[in-house]
Amino acid sequence: MYNRAKVIANEIKKYDEILIISHIDADGISAAGIASSSLMREGIEHRVQFIKQLDNTVIKNLKNENKMVWFTDLGSGNLHELQDLNAVITDHHVPSQREIPLSDRKDLLTLFNAVEKNTLHLNPHLFGRDGARDISGAGTAYLVAKALSAENIDLSALAIVGAVGDLQSIENRRLIGTNRDILNDGGKAGVLSWKIDIQFFGRETRPVFKLLQYANDPLIPKLTGNKENCIDFLLGLGIDLKEGEEWRKWVDLTKAERKRIVSEIVTILLKKGFGHALAERVLGEVYILQKEEGALRAAKEFATLLNSCGRYEKADIGYQICLGDRDKWLKKAESLLLGHRKTLVNSLQFIKEIGITEKRYIQYFHGKDEILDSVIGITASMLLGSGEINQKLPIFAFANTKEGIKVSARSTRSLISKGLDLSIVMKEASKQVGGHGGGHNIAAGATIPYGTEEEFLDTSEEIIRKQLGK
């Protein structure tokens, strides 16, 4: 992987002008920020374009550009369509040409070397690594940036924001694999630190009672969603809610106070029968950006801010923040984040009203026009992580879009260990109904024509049945 990054970096240095094409989520925006910053430092002219998906229209337009194109956090799923394009790809999604098991590394590399031709491609799947856990799109862009210049190791902070935004730390409650190397670079550069702490969103910015009120991974019985109960809970533990006129945040608490709260939350979860595995999710590794302040200091909050920009087609705002431009851009992003939180609450309420339908191998819901296609995936992830729905079935979520029906699929690592691969399910089932899809084994998506949902579900059921050996 490092050698391939060097080859790509040497190729990039040959050009005076480059077009960066990136995805609109936190990982894609972080990746674009890394790529742009590294090119800026090399004095290479460039511009950035954010897209929801790489389709035939976009590819056709790119071929007319006659420029070197750097794809970040996308491109691998369209490898076979990019052969006539002068391009480099730094991505982590399952490549489109994967027809043989990752375990057969030699044949996989032979296949891709034959297919790539003029396209230089850096993807963990080419080297027997899992793109859902080992490294994100921002991480692969970072490897190239580091190969361009050792001074770019400060960009490791953005790579970790991308990885956290891509939920790469969810399964193990810490980053692993190549992400660990990037973390160590950030430590050396003085831009990153990490420690074990509570996993809930808002450690740096929310009053403690609000941190508990909006806790969702896991949900805390009688606390999540109930402001008064959260306040009574903290007062009952002898926690002062304010210091002077200011609400105390999690980072303002003493070590003893934090330990007291965590211990009580774990006790509540165990008494309610949530089990040790879910209770353990309260604590995990958190990542701090040493050079940042406020909402940008915690990688999780930084990533959420970027996601709120991308999901409402304002990826450029997040990109400016990644470049270090704060002030008006940060205020705009925070405004989008406020709206994003309200949208998620409304989406979850809508699902609660319509319910989730269970088939034999799939559970699903249809958001129709009530849930934005840009948040349907995160809504599905929140539901699966809540512990309140069936953990033995993957969840499929549908939403209406102008282009067709958006499908987001999410699974547990337990099902993946049994053979489930959602990237293949999305790709094959969508193709069957005239759509297209792909992604990771644990999280994938597709776009399908209107009215094909039932056929898509039936095809997916059959694929999953075979994958699980039923």
Q: Say if 217 falls within a structural domain.
A: no
Question: What pLDDT is attached to residue 107?
Answer: 47
Going by C-beta distance under 8 Å and a sequence separation of 6 or more, which residues neighbour residue 131? 91, 92, 93, 94, 123, 124, 125, 440
Domain end residue (candidates: 122, 156, 190): 156
Domain end residue (candidates: 90, 122, 156): 156
Q: Are 5 and 34 in contact (CB under 8 A)?
A: no
Q: List the domain range (segments joined by +) for residue 384.
A: 355-467
Q: Say if 144 falls within a structural domain.
A: yes
Q: Say if 365 falls within a structural domain.
A: yes
Laid out side by side, the sheet with 120-122 consists of: 45-51, 17-23, 68-72, 87-90, 120-122
Question: What pLDDT is attached to residue 314?
Answer: 93
Question: What pLDDT is attached to residue 325?
Answer: 82
| HEC string for the chain | CHHHHHHHHHHHCCCCEEEEEEECCHHHHHHHHHHHHHHHHHCCEEEEEEECCCCHHHHHHHHCCCCEEEEECCCHHHHHHCCCCCEEEECCCCCCCCCCCCCCHHHHHHHHHHHHCCCEEECHHHHCCCCCCCCCHHHHHHHHHHHHCHHHHHHHHHHHHHHHHCCCCCCCCCCCCHHHHHHHHHHHHCCEEEEEEECCCCCCCCEHHHHHHCCCCCCCCCCCCCHHHHHHHHHHCCCCCEECCEECEHHHCCHHHHHHHHHHHHHHHHHCCCCHHHHHHHEEEEEEECCCCHHHCEHHHHHHHHHHHHHCCCHHHHHHHHCCCCCHHHHHHHHHHHHHHHHHHHHHHHHHHHCCEECCCCEEEECCCCCCCCCHHHHHHHHHHCCCCCCCCCEEEEEECCCCEEEEEECCHHHHHCCCCHHHHHHHHHHHCCCEEEECCCEEEEEECCCCHHHHHHHHHHHHHHHCCC
Q: Say if 256 falls within a structural domain.
A: no
Question: What pLDDT is attached to residue 118?
Answer: 46
Q: Say if 240 falls within a structural domain.
A: no
- Distance between CA atoms of residues 205 and 252, nearest Å: 10
Question: What pLDDT is attached to residue 2?
Answer: 94
Q: How many domains does the chain have?
A: 2
CATH code of the domain in which 364 resides: 3.10.310.40
Domain end residue (candidates: 131, 156, 181): 156
Q: Say if 122 falls within a structural domain.
A: yes
Per-residue pLDDT of the chain (470 residues; tens, 9 = 90+): 999 999 999 999 999 999 999 999 999 999 999 999 999 999 999 999 999 888 888 888 888 877 899 999 999 888 878 877 889 999 999 887 543 344 444 444 544 554 444 468 999 998 989 998 999 999 999 999 999 999 999 999 999 999 999 989 988 899 999 999 999 999 999 999 999 999 998 898 899 999 998 887 777 888 887 899 999 999 999 999 999 999 999 999 999 999 999 999 999 999 988 778 878 889 999 999 999 988 899 999 999 999 989 988 899 999 999 999 887 898 898 888 888 878 888 898 899 899 999 999 999 999 999 998 988 998 998 888 666 788 899 999 999 998 899 999 999 878 988 999 999 999 999 999 999 998 888 889 999 999 999 999 999 999 999 999 87
Distance, C-alpha 388 to centroid of its chain: 22
Minimal CA–CA distance to 29: which of 281, 381, 312, 393? Answer: 312
Q: Say if 161 falls within a structural domain.
A: no
CATH code of the domain in which 66 resides: 3.90.1640.30
Q: Say if 7 falls within a structural domain.
A: yes
